[in-house]
Chain A
């Protein structure tokens, strides 16, 4: 049997340990899909696979045990999934009956967000779908995740680009009864950005992460929601060489900025990627060009807004597997 494995991989299938059997990865931007698509995924697993579905760490589905000979049939059958992808993300895929057109740029994952979670500062599903709309289909290996608040339940700190929702809390001292629920909570659970002085709460903007917990704790709506903002962390990764948490890149930027930098990231990669390699991970490109080059190119033509903070330097840190310092 002759199979072009490069084409197979680009088509969101993979070479598995079982010869002639493959697995299909279904994209679920924002980790949200309707039950009709669930039914279709289940039908495909029953008909072409072995009646099993694996839930991936990026919130997609992987359907294992599909014979390589039946990929074309499967591609035709998943047409409704690609149609739905177009609809939710606004992508124009041109053809939707030949399976996924690319797999390098990974599914954009999201925490449950403000459709359900009281802590979330925005609709994460919608943002994930909008980002997917900008960056997919693309072969560059990029991982993006969006989190509703700085608690980062989606582990955006393990991504190339992680988006964390912020809100500017507004304080109306006339409504404050001085119960200190916000101050105590901020000290115990967040960064201690609030202080109680002269029976009034004072907020240190430098320390404030914009998590919005003070608003949730306030019984009188003395704290209310101001503008929505986002912070962006970059170049977190696992891997066998130098795993590390993402580092803060931007704070207090608007939604448009988030979308624009996702777009600019791809121009940056296109310009600097080492094409002698089969693929190069974006984190390694930044390691090579250095953060300032990345920063300047990704922020090109971006109107950051008055509130924005941009990291001057980044020390990515992490650890090297080959270092024996701890052993």
Chain B
């Protein structure tokens, strides 16, 4: 069902929504950019509708809402273990199609990868409802190449234009709330149909790519800072630490923390042995996971084409450029 709701009315609707939900959306954090006098656009909890930024891509992805950067799994004492039990409200996330689709990749890893579901992820994830935002595309995006430009996984859609908010509500539970504030109107979500960057993800990637010299370029260029993985909406690697509190080492907590395949220490073994020492090898691992290995396991691409890895890379390394190179190499091999 579609609705047209005037801005002031929508603010009231939002207020009512906030009584029942924790609402996350893209916001501007003034002067919190890495460089001085710059802002950070990121997801955060919002109190009012006016805080939401509709015209910019966030630097970080919404994954941290369901997969916190640091998460206490349990506390331990000498003879007991205690799980954090704080009951929270359900969660609403305002997101574009690519970001909503990224949750499909997260779900696959946390809930369908092996015999056990990840209970810590599930606990947060099952509380999430999405409000879809329209999108006209941004720099470095290529969602349309992956089909992640479109989604039907949303409870409502909102598009702010001029003095009104045009909405479509799919969630039966929410229809009452929406009809209270708006008049019925024909609304269909606006998606990006074609990005500025258009290319094909290679369907078949031969193992020959593994030893290809193309990766040595990244050994020279990549500094291993890990930004590409922390901003990625689909990177899910983590490590686990047992922290013993300073004033009493018999007490502490087990914590899981994001890890990055690009940063030193990832999958490091006793004696300093590791699988991938060179940054080129680490880039290969990341790229092939995004566009090949994950698909072999789950049947769809992990990457959603949001372009954040490229937005964030301080060395101007472009994933789409890398994918393009792989395509060319594979096409060349086909000919031979």
Which residue of B40, B69, B241 is within 8 Å of A174 (Cβ)?
B69
Judge whether A118 and B243 touch: CB under 8 Å: no
Distance of B272 from chain A, by nearest CB (Å): 16
Complex CA distance for A122 and B36, rounded to whole angstroms: 6
Complex CA distance for A228 and B59, rounded to whole angstroms: 23
User: A181 near B: Cβ within 8 Å?
Assistant: yes
Judge whether A177 and B37 touch: CB under 8 Å: no
Judge whether A199 and B225 touch: CB under 8 Å: no
Task: Please classify the interface of chain A as helix (H, G, I), strand (E, B), loop, or mixed, using the class held by over half of its residues.
Answer: loop
Complex CA distance for A224 and B36, rounded to whole angstroms: 10
A residues near B127, Cβ cutoff 8 Å: none
A residues near B36, Cβ cutoff 8 Å: 114, 120-122, 165, 167, 212, 225, 228
Complex CA distance for A177 and B227, rounded to whole angstroms: 11
Interface string of B254-265 (1 = CB under 8 A from A): 010111100100
B residues near A218, Cβ cutoff 8 Å: 34
Interface string of A104-141 (1 = CB under 8 A from B): 00000000001000101111000000000000000000
A residues near B70, Cβ cutoff 8 Å: 173-177
Judge whether B37 and A123 touch: CB under 8 Å: yes
Judge whether A225 and B243 touch: CB under 8 Å: no
Judge whether B246 and A179 touch: CB under 8 Å: no
Judge whether B225 and A181 touch: CB under 8 Å: yes
Which residue of A122, A219, A221 is within 8 Å of B32 (Cβ)?
A221
Task: Give the size of the chain A interface in residues (CB under 8 angstroms).
Answer: 30
Distance of A242 from chain B, by nearest CB (Å): 36
User: A10 near B: Cβ within 8 Å?
Assistant: no
User: B202 near A: Cβ within 8 Å?
Assistant: no
Complex CA distance for A221 and B259, rounded to whole angstroms: 15
| A225 and B227 contact, Cβ closer than 8 Å, known pairs A122-B37, A177-B260, A198-B244 | no
Q: CB-nearest residue of chain B relative to A222?
A: B69
Interface string of A85-111 (1 = CB under 8 A from B): 000000000000000000000000000
User: B42 near A: Cβ within 8 Å?
Assistant: yes
Q: CB-nearest residue of chain A relative to B69?
A: A175
Judge whether A114 and B258 touch: CB under 8 Å: no
Distance of B68 from chain A, by nearest CB (Å): 7
A residues near B37, Cβ cutoff 8 Å: 114, 122-123
| A118 and B35 contact, Cβ closer than 8 Å, known pairs A179-B260, A221-B40 | yes
Distance of A123 from chain B, by nearest CB (Å): 7
Q: CB-nearest residue of chain B relative to A176?
A: B70
A residues near B68, Cβ cutoff 8 Å: 174
A residues near B226, Cβ cutoff 8 Å: 177, 179, 219
Complex CA distance for A174 and B241, rounded to whole angstroms: 14
B residues near A120, Cβ cutoff 8 Å: 36
Complex CA distance for A177 and B225, rounded to whole angstroms: 12
Distance of B49 from chain A, by nearest CB (Å): 24
A residues near B31, Cβ cutoff 8 Å: 225
Interface string of B22-50 (1 = CB under 8 A from A): 00000001011111110010100000000
Distance of A91 from chain B, by nearest CB (Å): 25
User: A191 near B: Cβ within 8 Å?
Assistant: no
User: B230 near A: Cβ within 8 Å?
Assistant: yes
Complex CA distance for A123 and B246, rounded to whole angstroms: 42
Judge whether A114 and B35 touch: CB under 8 Å: yes
Distance of A175 from chain B, by nearest CB (Å): 5
User: A33 near B: Cβ within 8 Å?
Assistant: no
| A220 and B230 contact, Cβ closer than 8 Å, known pairs A174-B69, A175-B70, A199-B241 | yes
Judge whether A177 and B35 touch: CB under 8 Å: no
Q: CB-nearest residue of chain B relative to A115?
A: B37
Q: CB-nearest residue of chain A relative to B246?
A: A198
Q: CB-nearest residue of chain A relative to B35?
A: A118
B residues near A118, Cβ cutoff 8 Å: 34-35
List 7 additional A-B contacts (Cβ < 8 Å) besides A118-B35, A173-B70, A217-B225.
Answer: A114-B35, A121-B36, A174-B70, A177-B70, A177-B258, A198-B243, A221-B32
- 21 A-B pairs with C-beta separation under 8 A: A114-B37, A118-B35, A120-B36, A122-B37, A174-B69, A175-B70, A177-B69, A177-B230, A177-B260, A179-B260, A181-B225, A212-B36, A215-B34, A216-B35, A219-B230, A220-B69, A221-B34, A221-B60, A224-B32, A225-B32, A228-B36
The 8 lowest CB-CB distance pairs between A and B, nearest first, are: A219-B227, A114-B36, A177-B258, A219-B226, A224-B32, A219-B230, A199-B241, A179-B263
